Amino acid sequence: MIRKIKKVFDIFFKYCCLYIHFAPRKNNGELVYLRSFPEATYAPWFQDIFFYDTYTKIKKYSLKDIYRLYELYSLATQACNYGGSFVEIGAWRGGSAAIIASAKKKMLNSNDFYLCDTFEGVVKASFIDNFYNNGEHNDTDLNYVNKVFDKLNLMLPKVLTGIFPDDTGNEVSDNVSFLHIDVDTYQSAKDIFNFCQNKFTDKAVIIFDDYGFFETNGITILCNELKNKKNMTFIHNLNGHGIFLWNKV
Ligand SMILES: C[S@@+](CC[C@H](N)C(=O)[O-])C[C@H]1O[C@@H](n2cnc3c(N)ncnc32)[C@H](O)[C@@H]1O
């Protein structure tokens, strides 16, 4: 009897988990989030030995999956032809930053770029954001970043500690060709984009990490607002990235 009850409970529990995992979720009745399964199967992230080796060394220092990290690596590689600086806002323990820096080092033999974080967690959460309240992801410090760059034998990039752009924006003096915004909240991402848009090189790529996720709905809203801006083409990648290709001419 007890066995039977346990079996029924197990089946019920499994279905509950499946439902939570796959059921569509709505945000304020407007945005729908539903797990996507593309039909495509090409998987260069397993084939590129340099990337895969780098990924295995840094994965503990990142909250991102292999799909987004590979896309950062691939876009950073291509942006090396655009001539400007690389900037990441929202580095946490430095995992995605290390992937970007490795791509730059491989292409240009320099991994010079701006790595920005408050190191005190997420900021500027407002009524727009579903999930964040400020202070999340504060479980980090510069030692983690040092460690991951050391693991890859990379020089430590320029680290800007504080809220970007409010505290540290003025330290980015050059033009920007690669911008990774991974900050989770609407207002934080908006201020960063507005500040950086006057600095873009003729061609630039801007990646919003959090476009496709229910927990970071503020970023979905922001990218949807920016979609019709002049000089930019928007790509919604099913890995969750919102990508803007900037082309001034
Ligand atoms: C999800 S974590 C970044 C994850 C990281 N890119 C990785 O590879 O896993 C978001 C980070 O953004 C930082 N952050 C949010 N808004 C910021 C701002 N305006 N300026 C600087 N850092 C910010 C937080 O401190 C937090 O560490």
135-188 pLDDT, tens digit per residue, is 999 999 999 999 999 999 999 999 999 999 999 999 998 899 999 999 999 999
Per-residue pLDDT at 19: 57
What dihedral angle (degrees, nearest 10) is formed by the CA atoms of 164, 170, 174, 180? 0
* Cross-strand bridge partners of residue 159: 115
> What is the C-alpha separation between 88 and 97, in angstroms, rounded?
7
- CA–CA separation, 4 and 221 (whole Å): 48
- Ligand 1 residue neighbourhood (C-beta within 6 Å): 62-64, 89-92, 95-96, 116-118, 121-123, 137, 163-164, 182-184, 188
Distance of CA 11 from the midpoint of ligand 1 (Å): 39
Band of the pLDDT at 18, cuts 50, 70, 90? low
**Global pTM exceeds 0.75:** yes
Q: Which of 227, 219, 225 is nearest to 33 (CA)?
A: 219
| Per-residue pLDDT reduced to its tens digit, 76-132 | 999 999 999 999 999 999 999 999 999 999 999 988 899 999 999 999 999 999 999
Flag the least confident range among 5-14, 191-200, 206-215, 238-247: 5-14
| pLDDT confidence of residue 116 | 98
Across the chain, what does the average pLDDT equal?
93
Position 15 pLDDT exceeds 90: no
CA distance 61 to 91: 10
Q: What is the pLDDT of residue 112?
A: 85
Position 249 scores a pLDDT of 72
The backbone torsions φ and ψ at residue 54, rounded to the nearest 5 degrees and listed phi first, read: -65, -45
Collapsing DSSP to helix, strand or coil, 167 comes out as coil
β-strand pairing of 158-161 with 232-236: unpaired
Query: What is the Rg, in whole angstroms, of the alpha carbon atoms belonging to the chain?
Result: 19
The residue whose CA is least distant from atom 6 of ligand 1 is 91
Ligand 1 pocket check: which of 68, 114, 116, 118 to mutate, most ligand atoms within 8 Å of Cβ? 118
